[in-house]
Structure 1
Amino acid sequence: MKKILNEVCHKAFQDIMEKAMMSGSSKQTVIESKLTMVPPPCELSLSERMSHLGLGGDMMSTWRMKGNNVPYEERSMFLTFSKGYPVAEWEIREFFTSYFGDNIESIIMQDVKSNEQALYARIVFVTPEIVESILKDESKVKFSINGKHVWMRKYVKRNGKSSFP
C-alpha cells in the first residue's frame, strides 16, 4: 500500500498541487486549498521531503541546532478551535507531524475541567522556520484537522510575561 501511495499517488498529484500553487488564483484560495488537503499517509520525514527538494539531508540537524538558541516565543504558534468541535492534542501532533516530521517540541493545551473543551492551544516547534513555513507571510492561517477548523497565528506573549517554563 505504501509503495502504491509513494510511487503512484504522490507522482499523480504532485503536478496538480504545483500548478495550483503557481496559478493566478488568489493567495488566500491557494492557502486554504493547500491547508485543508489531507496529506497522503506516507512516512516521509522532513529530511526526506527536503532531500526531494534538493535541500540536502543535513538541513534537519541544522534546523534543530538553530532552534535550540531561539527563544520559545519565536518558535511558537497560537491555535484556536471552534466551540462544539473539540480538537485533541494527539490530533494536532499527528497533523503537523505528517507535514513536518518529528519537529514539535511541545503542545500546551488550554487548562480546562474534564467536562469542558479546550478552545486554544500553543505549539512550540524546534525551529522558527517551521512557523514561517506555515504562515507564508500571512498573519493567520486556517487548517482543517479531521474536519474541524483550526486557526493559527504567531504566538505573542501577553503582559510582558511568558507562560513558558
Structure 2
Amino acid sequence: MSTNARSSNEVGCSNVCRLNVFAQPYIPLSLQQGTRIQKSLFVTFSTGFPISSGEIYEHFTQAYGNCIEFVYIHREEGKVPEFGRIMFVSADLAAKILGNRSVVKMFIRGKPMWLKKYVSRHRN
C-alpha cells in the first residue's frame, strides 16, 4: 500500500488532515449540558438553620465529584439566609437529584434543605 492510500474509514483533505467518518458529531458543551436554568435548583433552608455555600459544595462534591458550577446564597443585612440557587455542571445531574419529585428534602450536617426546579423570575 502506498503512503498516499487512505483506509476506508478516513476522509481526508490532504496528507495532513484525516477525518474519521465514524466519529460522533460535535455538540458544543453549552448545548450538550443544558441551559443555565435547566442546570439549576432552587434551595430553601429551615428558619434559623442556614447552610453555607461551602457546606453545599462539600456535600455534593463528596456524592457526585466535581459537579457544581456555582452556589448562590441570598443574603440580606441583618437576616439569616433562607434560600439560594445551585447550578450544576449538567442538567442531567439536577434532574437526577430531583428524580420524578417536585421537591426533595435532604440534610447537610443535620440541617434540612429543600430543593426544587429553579424558575427564573426574569423573562427574555
Shared fold (TM-score greater than 0.5)?
yes
Check 1:138–1:66 CA distance in 2 against 1; reply closer, same or farther (3 A cut): farther
Distance 1:82 1:160 in 2: 29
Greater strand fraction, Structure 1 or Structure 2: 2
Identity %: 33
Deviations 1:28-75 (A, max 9, x none): xxxxxxxxxxxxxxxxxxxxxxxxxxxxxxxxxxxxx77522210010
Correspondence for 2:116 = 153
Q: Match of 1:108?
A: 72
Instruction: State the alpha-carbon separation in 2 of the partners of residues 67 and 84 from structure 1.
Output: 39
- The count of aligned residue pairs is 96
Mapped partners of 2:61, 2:76: distance in 1: 25
Per-residue CA deviations over 1:82-134 (Å, capped at 9, x if unaligned) read: 11112111011111111111110011110322x42110010001101101110
* Unmatched runs of 5 consecutive residues or more in structure 2: 1-26
- Equivalent residue number for residue 12 of structure 1: none
CA distance in 2, matches of 1:120, 1:138: 19
CA contact (8 A) 2:68 2:87 kept: yes
- Give the Cα–Cα distance (whole angstroms) in 1 for the partners of residues 28 and 58 of structure 2: 24
Q: 2:60 aligns with which of 96, 101, 106?
A: 96
Root mean square deviation of aligned Cα: 1.7
Q: Confirm or deny that 1:68 pairs with 2:30.
A: yes
- Pick the structure with greater CA Rg: 2
Structure-2 residue corresponding to 1:84 = 48
